[in-house]
Amino acid sequence: MSKLQINLNGEVVELNSNNLSDLVVHKAPKDRPFAIEINGIIVPSSDFDNFKLTNNDRIEIITAVGGG
């Protein structure tokens, strides 16, 4: 397939796969919980395996940071 262009955490990124699960393997943290939002909608982790990305998707990978 041709490369996919998405916006990941505010930056343009090219992907070889349209599987969200592949993106998770390469771009998400492995040692802590995270959440994924695509085009403003939260994707539950149970949907990662079946979710297909499309061109220009805006993807946020979000995790925890210290705060008051």
Binding site for another protein (CB under 8 A): 9-10, 27-29, 31-35, 37, 40, 42, 44-45, 60-68
Task: Specify the residue for token string 């998707």.
Answer: 57
Rounded least distance, CB 18 to another protein, Å: 21
Nearer to another protein, 10 or 50 (CB): 10
Which CB, 54 or 62, lies closer to another protein?
62
Rg of the chain over CA atoms, in angstroms? 12
